Every structure is written in C-alpha cells, then in structure tokens.
Structure 1
Amino acid sequence: MRFVLASASPARRTVLRNAGLEPVIRVSGVDEDAVAAALPDPTPAELVTALAKAKAEAIAADEQDAVVVGCDSMLLTADGQVQGKPGTVDKARERWRRMAGTTATLLTGHAVLKVVDGRIAARAADHEATVVRFGTPTEAELEAYLATEEPLQVAGAFTLDGRGGWFVDGIDGDPSSVIGISLPLTRRLLRQVDIAVSDIW
C-alpha cells in the first residue's frame, strides 16, 4: 500500500523520511479560501482539520490502494489571530515584530484516508496543538532572516528545523507537529483506519 503525502512541503517529507517512510508526494491544489468560506464560523482547530481533509480527499480520488495523508498548519497568536503563510516580506516582518518575545500555538490538522480498490474504505482526522515560545531577534537578525525568504511560505512565518529555529526559545508539545506533520498523531490516526505504522516502514 502506497503512503501518499498530499503536500509539497519539503519539511513534512523530511520528517517522514527520517522516520522510515518514503512518501509519494502529490499536491492537491485545493482552494483553501473556498474551503474556509464554506465553513460556518469554524474554530482555528476545525479550520486546519477541514483543510487537511480537503487536501487528502482531493488526492484520494485518483488512488487505487493507498493511505493518503493531508496536513495543514496555522499559528494562533496570543491575541487570537490566526496566521497562515505570510507570502511577502512585509507581512512576515510585521508578524515577527508582533510575535517576538511572546508565545503562540501552532495548530496542525491531519487527515488519513485508507483507499482500497479506488474507494475510501476508512478515514480519520484530528489536530495537534503545540505551544511555541519565540525569542526576540535584533532588527539586523530579522532582516537577514527575511532576506532568506524562508519565512514567506511557512505557517506563522517561522520554521523550527531551519534558520527560524535560532529564534525559537522552546516549545511545549510535539516538535514534529511544528515542523509540519505530527508523527504521534499520524500514528494514532493510522490505527483508527486499521494500519500499524510498523507495517508501512
């Protein structure tokens, strides 16, 4: 059975590879804004989980025998703001100036679909929440970080496993979730669809 990751994230792929899996990478192309707009006043946790489900389901439609995993991440700041990918240097700079020296919660939604003979035979979904304690980079450090463009395409404008790790003072929870895919949560969801993680290493 193929293990299909419905994500282009190199960080998620690396986490899975380091954990003994070689995922097949397929990008869903889901319109995230449309998924969000279709939900009646979702909580941040409901939103990331719904997005993960939509991504997994879009990929599962073209699979025969596979386990398909979709993920989505967002940062929930102390003032209640939900942040996805900033996309621009200006947005990333403004976010870092607000979150430096504070704590925030990284929410990662996961969906696991078991596809047998071209149909979804079982599904499971949930989210993981991990508290992130941010350091305070100097203006020069922040500008140098922004110049790498690393924070532009990641939830919350930071990475734990890249240059952004220099400015994270600590986390409370699952580090793999902050990187992009929670191994413990994925293992539990696989169990719910009757797959042991040791069977797909």
Structure 2
Amino acid sequence: MPASTAPVRLVLASQSPARLATLAAAGVTPRVVVSSVDEPAVLDAARAGFGGDLEPADAVLVLAQAKAEEVSARLEDDSADSREFEASALVLGCDSMLELDGEILGKPADAEDARRRWRAMRGRAAVLHTGHWLVDARDPDDGGTGGTLGASSSTTVHFADVDDEEIDAYVATGEPLHVAGAFTIDGLGGPYVDRIEGDHHGVVGLSLPLLRELLGELDIPWRSLRDPR
C-alpha cells in the first residue's frame, strides 16, 4: 500500500534558529514549541539506567528523545483549541554535542570557557553528534501510528588553526556562547572551519537526510512535510 501524501504538520521541539532555518530552506515550516526538560537530570537518569557513562551519540539521542516526548505530552495536555491545532502533528526533538578527545562539549558556560575550547580545538578535528527523535502524535484517523523513534548523525569537523586574536574576536561576537561546541558552520564561525567529513546539515543541528529516513520508517514521505506551493 503506498504511503499517504496528505500534508503532515511538524512541531519542532527546539529553540535553535539554525534548525528552524534549515527546515525552512527545505520548504518546511514547523511550529516551534521549546521543551522544558532538565538536561543534566535526563543524562544522570540515563547514566544510572545504563550503569555507566554514555557514548556521545547516545547522549544526544537520549536528550532528543526527552525533548520530543516532553513537548508531545504537553501538547496533548493543552486546551482543546491547541489539540485541534496539533492534529496530525509529528514532534521532532534534536540535541547536539561536540566530542573532542573523548570529552562531550555542549554550549560553553561563558566567554572564557569558549576561548578555552577554541584554543583546544584549533588546527584539530572533532566530531559533532546530533540526535534526532520523532514522536508520531497524529490522530489515528489521520494516519497516526503512535510511533516513536530516533537516530544520531555524526560529522567530523576540521577546525582552522586560528590565533588568539581571532579567537578573542569571534568569542566577542557572542555567537559561540549559544551553540554546541562553541562554533557554527553556517554563521560567523564558518571561516574557522576548514572542512567537514559527513552531512553538513548535521553540523548545523538537523540532518535532513536522516530526518527523511526516520520519516520513511513511519511510512511518511518527505514531500508531505513541505509547504504547499
């Protein structure tokens, strides 16, 4: 039986402008509902459940799942108007971390932390892991399966051998303080990334090819997410 091509609403459980822009550039306009999960608590619970430390690709996936499921549950508990608006909705949660020398790096704590990280990263390679989790919160009448699934993308990033003055100038822009790994590839940090190995969308924070694969596992074609033209 062919997959349905009926339009499907997407809810993005992330406040990341880069993720929103990535979807918009691909013709998808989601509703943004930011999750309120306690990320350290989620990771602590996951470590306790697994009986030890998490691999970076697993850590971002655990957080992505927590965000997607928290937002999905909150939308279900909202007013009748909200439930009606969110009928036929998929909820997507994402999380990114940079792995350098076996250490997981999220957003820097402050400007000095960002400078310290850049001094460690310059002229070297690190791996940016991004977790993706989908919750099919559509009504059964609209084809909803109740499915929940996810996967992580991992991309190797080669950083330029920038000097201290360049690092100070970049950190002074404030951008590194708001992103995982203290850098962007699609913004002011782009000139300081020499090259990547893997999906550049994953470095931005949302792998479109991986999202398409996850949709396929729910029998949802990518084109059903695109805005009507």
TM-score range, shorter chain: over 0.9
Equivalent in the alignment of 2:215: 190
Q: Which amino acid aligns with 1:2?
A: R
Equivalent in the alignment of 1:33: 40
Distance in 2 (alpha carbons) for counterparts of 1:147 and 1:44: 28
Q: Specify which of 45, 51, 66 is matched with residue 54 of structure 1.
A: 66
Given that 1:60 and 1:120 are in contact with CA atoms closer than 8 Å, whether structure 2 keeps it comes out as no
Identity across aligned pairs (percent)?
47
Equivalent in the alignment of 2:166: 141
* Cα deviation 1:70-117 (Å, max 9, x = unaligned): 00000001x111100003101000000001000000000000111123
Structure of greater Rg: 2
2:45 matches 1:22 = no
Counterparts of residues 1-201 of structure 1 (less than 5 Å): 1-40=8-47, 41=52, 42-61=54-73, 62-63=75-76, 64-77=87-100, 79-117=101-139, 121-201=146-226
Which moves more between the two structures, 90-99 or 137-146?
137-146
* Cα deviation 1:111-152 (Å, max 9, x = unaligned): 011112398711110100000000022222111101101000
| Higher fraction of strand | 1
* Cα deviation 1:12-67 (Å, max 9, x = unaligned): 00000000101111100110001000013221111100100000001111144301
Q: Which amino acid aligns with 1:81?
A: E
**Displacement of 1:169 after TM fit?**
0.3
Given that 2:119 and 2:164 are in contact with CA atoms closer than 8 Å, whether structure 1 keeps it comes out as no
Distance in 1 (alpha carbons) for counterparts of 2:12 and 2:187: 21
3-state SS of 1:163 partner: coil
Distance in 1 (alpha carbons) for counterparts of 2:11 and 2:46: 26
Distance in 2 (alpha carbons) for counterparts of 1:121 and 1:194: 12
Distance in 2 (alpha carbons) for counterparts of 1:120 and 1:145: 46
Gaps of 5+ in 2: 1-7, 77-86
Given that 1:111 and 1:123 are in contact with CA atoms closer than 8 Å, whether structure 2 keeps it comes out as yes
Distance in 1 (alpha carbons) for counterparts of 2:113 and 2:148: 36
Q: Which amino acid aligns with 2:110?
A: T
> TM-score w.r.t. structure 1 length?
0.96
* Cα deviation 1:156-200 (Å, max 9, x = unaligned): 000000111110000000000000100010000111112111111
Aligned length: 200
Gaps of 5+ in 1: none
Given that 2:96 and 2:131 are in contact with CA atoms closer than 8 Å, whether structure 1 keeps it comes out as yes
> TM-score w.r.t. structure 2 length?
0.84
3-state SS of 1:91 partner: helix
